[in-house]
Amino acid sequence: MADIIDIISSFAIPAFIFVVLVYGHLNGVSVYDSFVEGAKEGFVTAVKVLPYMVAMFVAISIFRASGAMDILISVISPVTEFLGIPAQILPLVIMRPMSGIASTGILAELFKVYGPDSFIGRVASTVMGSTETIFYTLSIYFGAVGIKRIRYTLWAALLAEMVGLIASVGVCSIVFGR
Amino acid sequence: MCSIVESNIICIKKKAAEKVRPMVNIVWILLILIGLVVAAFNGKIEAVTQAALDNAKYAVELCFGLIGVYALWLGLMKVAEEAGLVKKVSQKMQGVMRFLFTDIPARHPAIGAITMNIIANMLGLGNAATPLGIKAMRELQELNPHKDRATDAMCMFLVINTSSVQLIPATVVALRSTAGSSNPTEIIGTVFIATVCSTAAGIIAAKILQRYY
């Protein structure tokens, strides 16, 4: 199991690059030119993210430096420990369904404090990658066609997110060890 | 609100962002205010000031560190988009879709739009995914007898969309590499397994709940 996951991790990006370039070339795309065209957006995107990053980083670092984060963690850790989730990732879990950029900031701060290769860093990465900004997405798509009664959609989506969270911790424990 | 010059999709995104912003706003204010009060009690006011200044600086360095990986990734995404990769993969997925969306008639254009949106999401092509998703919702709305109430297909589509299987979580990989990880891509496999679990849970929940709601 862990071996297969390892192989997926190592080969996903090279395989994707290979497929995209070969498929693009065979379909008459001027691959180099359109790559450069897309790459231009890299700078713009990073600059667009910057103010959100600063806002979130400052807020969460104040919260952490004051000692409030330690208090929060010690209060909630009995509950999160019961579920097997590291209490340190709770701010990420709360922010994730609300805002993609804000949760990216929280993830980056966790990397800075615990390191991306720590267990917390790996679980946080997996949680971030496997969940979505539920509230925003539902708002876009239901808003676009004027649906008001969304029935069970939010509950099913939140349940899926919870399962993703627990699965993230489980898979990381198996693959990386605690 | 939205001006006339703005395209429809930007306008829809803006409206959605306005609904979500109050939530983020509250969390942000609480983090800072609680932090400041606790710092005053703990005698850590100076540490807090220092942390705020240092981290503002670090956040900027981090964003500049992201430029390279973003450029690489967005370059590839452009090639994938122009090659029509999403459409190609979608054509192979139609069978699975018919199982999930039993209430959409065969050959209805909604199926195509839904599939392409899901594939675009899996590949991390967020910008390409949104217009396809909105198109899918409009097609589904045509089939909807009660225009303000979501159909089973809409609910299923959005549950899959919000728990979507990620083939390559590009932003996370980029952040990890910028933060100095010795193996930034090692989480691709774990993300994949975790999203398979969450998507499966979402589909099962939607299939069960649609009978009672």
Q: What percent of chain A has pLDDT over 70?
A: 100
The amino acid occupying position A6 is D
Kindly state whether A171 is in contact with chain B, defined as any CB-CB distance less than 8 angstroms: yes
CB atoms within 10 A of CB B23: 17
At B126-136, the pLDDT tens digits run 777 888 999 99
* Interior/surface letters A32-50, b for 16+ CB within 10 angstroms, e for the rest: eebbeebbebbbebbeebb
Domain hosting residue B164, numbered range? 67-209
Q: Indicate yes or no: CB of A153 within 8 angstroms of CB of B155.
A: yes
Residue B179, H or E segment: none
**Does B138 fall in a domain?**
yes
Mean pLDDT estimate for chain B: 89
**Does B104 fall in a domain?**
yes
Total count of domains within chain B:
1
**Does B201 fall in a domain?**
yes
At B74-91, the pLDDT tens digits run 999 899 989 988 888 888
Contacts of A91 (CB under 8 A, 6+ apart): A60, A63, A69, A106, B31
**Does B18 fall in a domain?**
no
This prediction's pTM? 0.91
Q: How far is CA A43 from the centre of its chain?
A: 21
Q: What does the pLDDT read at residue B122?
A: 85
Kindly state whether B140 is in contact with chain A, defined as any CB-CB distance less than 8 angstroms: yes
Quick one: average pLDDT of B173-191? 94
**Does B42 fall in a domain?**
no
The angle, 0 to 180 degrees and rounded to 10, between the axes of the packed helices A100-114 and A119-130 is 170
Which of B 4-63 lie inside 8 A of A, CB atoms?
Answer: 12-13, 15-17, 19-20, 23-24, 27-28, 31-32, 34-39, 42, 44, 47-48, 50-52, 54-56, 58-60, 62-63
**Does B31 fall in a domain?**
no
CA distance B57 to B67: 16
Among A1-10, A154-163, B167-176, B204-213, which is the least confidently predicted range?
A1-10
- Residues in A touching B73 (Cβ below 8 Å): 42
Output the CA angle B197-A162-B134, nearest 5 degrees.
75
Q: What does the pLDDT read at residue B4?
A: 60
**Does B55 fall in a domain?**
no
Q: Indicate yes or no: CB of A130 within 8 angstroms of CB of B59.
A: no
- Residues in B touching A95 (Cβ below 8 Å): 24, 27
Contacts of B29 (CB under 8 A, 6+ apart): none
**Does B196 fall in a domain?**
yes
Nearest Cα residue to A30 out of B87, B81, B86, B79: B79
Q: Indicate yes or no: CB of A125 within 8 angstroms of CB of B67.
A: no
At A77-116, the pLDDT tens digits run 998 988 889 999 999 999 999 888 899 999 999 999 999 9
Kindly state whether B117 is in contact with chain A, defined as any CB-CB distance less than 8 angstroms: no
